[in-house]
Structure formats: structure tokens, C-alpha cells
A = this chain, B = another copy of it.
């Protein structure tokens, strides 16, 4: 055993927006914490804004100025968590517990100054442990930080998960519980694939791929941070007591399934450019201009034959109009542009792929057997992704889920 001082009785518990989405639910969370404390746990809580609240705040900001990002925007959004942690504190105090609601500046969650996507630099873990040792229950506002000028920052979408894992890392806890409205991570979205089943364990790489590939359960940065500090994440339901999915370091001798999950993103578009100037200069220039306009490019393919150079890339449907504007404004007339709408991305993920060959072959064979054409493809050592017609998404996902032995047996 390594000589690390772990605070194993101290558990960081993060409650998502639906878990604190109403006064009644906040009461239920408080009751659960009360029971945990009776069993000897010493919890540190993190809460998101009440569900719907962040959207309400964003909508007001957008009504004033849809383009504004900066200090005031982060201050506005951070108010959501301030409300939920205050109410949770009152609910715990009502049960005779001593609660310490903490905003980022009060605890010392110090970040850089990149508003709306700030990174945590350090956390005042001594203050946190001091409170716990005084029998207090810290309730930390998720999603927010404070920069060196005492300005409020926010960590981006899913930021409360990142806060929770960062807190766990700062006090060298060995795990972090993420409470949400689903009981576990599933092998696929059960709304798309009714035979999807719960996954008891995943490792960090798989979870990061899933987060990148459209699974909304946990955000990439939170898992990345957990991997960096070896914090086990236990994702589980706020409304049930049974265990959910553990996200863990990869164990060498563990028998992993070849494929752990099938994920999808339904709202995808593809832009094809032909002919484009040869070489990488044009491509670098294009992607820089798209990036400046906040268009996120996903899969990119490039090919060259005697007819000329071709470029194709996929992007979220929501960013298609901006991307078309960028192309028109910067290269209008120079380029042949064709746009494919109503596409979807389908992916398979699994660390087991590293040890098995032929996974990509099976992936394409399944699609081919079902008469599904593939537009763009990308792979890594633990995933295969392809762009297909949105109309084929259900069939593609269902077939792949069955092919790789993920279907629930009951």
C-alpha cells in the first residue's frame, strides 16, 4: 500500500439539477444525507443549480445580448448554485445537522480567468477538512470558481461534476459519488435501444470516449480529472439506494468486454468541399476561421486523386448555419460546397478492443449487412465512429448492440 493519507470515511457527494430540482427533492436529498451521517459517514456535498434554473438564466442573458460572454454572464449563472446550496443547507439544519454552504470565493476554488470555461487551479482543502473535523457538512456550489481578481468564473457545462472530482482530489479522497436521475451508465441510450443494460464498471478511457461521443451522463473534463488523480467515480441514482456504475482505473488482469457501449449523436451534419487548394495551408486556415466562430468540427477526412483535393467534415446541426456563413464569407465562389443534413454519428467503445483484432471489420459488416451506408469514419484504439443517415440510426445502433453481446438477457 502506498503511504497516502486517504479520508475514506469522508465522501464527496454531488447532486445534479434534477436531484435538487424542487423543494421536495431537496428535502429527500437532505433525508438521505441525514441517514448517511447516522451511519458514520462524513459527507462533503456539491450541488448543481435546480433543474431548469440555468436555462432560465441563460435565456434572460440571451434576451439582453445573445453574443455577450464575460464576467457578468458567469456571475449571473453562478447564482443558480447559490440558491440550491442555500436551500439544501436549510434542509440539513432542520434535521439538526450543521451545514456550511460555500460559494467558490468562500471556500477558495481558485481558477484561471477564462470566463464560461475556467479551469480550477487550486482548492483550499484545509478549510474543507477543518469544517468536516468540526462536524460541519460543507455544501459547495458546483460549477463556479473565483479568479485572482475575485471575479466569479464558471467551469462550463457539467462543471459541477468537475467541482466534485476536484474537491475529492484536493482532500485525497479515494472516491466521489455523482448522484443523478439515471441509475447507472447504460450500454446504449435506453430510449433508442430498449435492450440496453446497466454497466457495473467502466474505466476512465471508456468513460472519456463516451463523454466525447454523445453520452450526456458525465462530462469529459470531470472524468479526465478523475483519471489524473485516480478518483473512483460512483455514478448512481438519487432516488434509489442500490449501486450504479463505478468508473475506475483500468486493471491489467481484468477481463474486459470487447465493446462496452454503443453511443450516438443524432443531430449531425456533414460539409463536403471540392475542389480545395492542395496542401495543409488552406485546411489550417479554414479550421482556424471555423474555430474563431465557435464551430466545433468532429470527424475530418481528406483525399486526393487526379480530379483534385477533397475535404469533408462533420459538425453539430446547430452550428451548420454559422459554418455555411464562414465558408461563404471567406471563400465564396472559390469552393464547391455540398451540405448533408439529417445525419447521425454512431460509435462503439471498449478498452477490450485493444486486445482483439477485427472489431472494425465486424462494425462495418453489421452496417453493410443492414444496407446502411457510411459517410465519414474515425477510429481510436478504443472506439470506432461513423456518420450514417439519421433514418438508419435506430437500426444501426440496435444491430451493433446485438453484435457485440450487449443486449439485456431478460
Kindly state the separation between the CA atoms of A85 and B73 in the bound complex, as whole angstroms. 10
Kindly state the separation between the CA atoms of A358 and B83 in the bound complex, as whole angstroms. 55
Most chain B CB within a 10 A radius of its CB, from A26, A73, A76, A78: A76
Within 8 A of B (CB), among A95-152: 99, 101, 103, 105-106, 150-152
Counting contact residues on chain A (CB < 8 A from B), the size range is: 35 or more
| Chain B positions within 8 Å of A395 at CB level | none
Asked if B105 contacts A64 (CB within 8 A), the reply is: no
Within 8 A of B (CB), among A333-369: none
Q: Which of B65, B73, B94 contacts A91 (CB 8 A)?
A: B65
| Chain B positions within 8 Å of A79 at CB level | 79, 82-83, 86
Kindly state the separation between the CA atoms of A378 and B60 in the bound complex, as whole angstroms. 49
Within 8 A of B (CB), among A68-87: 68, 70-73, 75-76, 78-79, 82-83, 85-87
Answer whether residue A273 sits at the interface, using C-beta atoms and an 8 A cutoff. Answer: no
Q: Which residue on chain B has the smallest CB distance to residue A95?
A: B65
Asked if A68 contacts B94 (CB within 8 A), the reply is: yes
Asked if B105 contacts A89 (CB within 8 A), the reply is: no
Asked if B65 contacts A76 (CB within 8 A), the reply is: no
Asked if A64 contacts B76 (CB within 8 A), the reply is: no
Answer whether residue A61 sits at the interface, using C-beta atoms and an 8 A cutoff. Answer: yes
Query: How does the 8 Å CB contact mask read for A14-30 relative to B, with 1 for contact and 0 for none?
Result: 00000000010011000
4 closest A-B pairs by beta carbon, nearest first, are A76-B86, A72-B89, A79-B79, A23-B63
Binding site for B on A (CB under 8 A): 23, 26-27, 57, 60-61, 63-65, 68, 70-73, 75-76, 78-79, 82-83, 85-87, 89-91, 93-94, 99, 101, 103, 105-106, 150-152
Given contacts A61-B86, A72-B90, 16 further A-B contacts (CB under 8 A): A61-B90, A64-B94, A65-B90, A68-B93, A68-B94, A71-B101, A72-B87, A72-B99, A75-B86, A75-B89, A75-B103, A76-B82, A76-B90, A79-B82, A79-B83, A105-B105
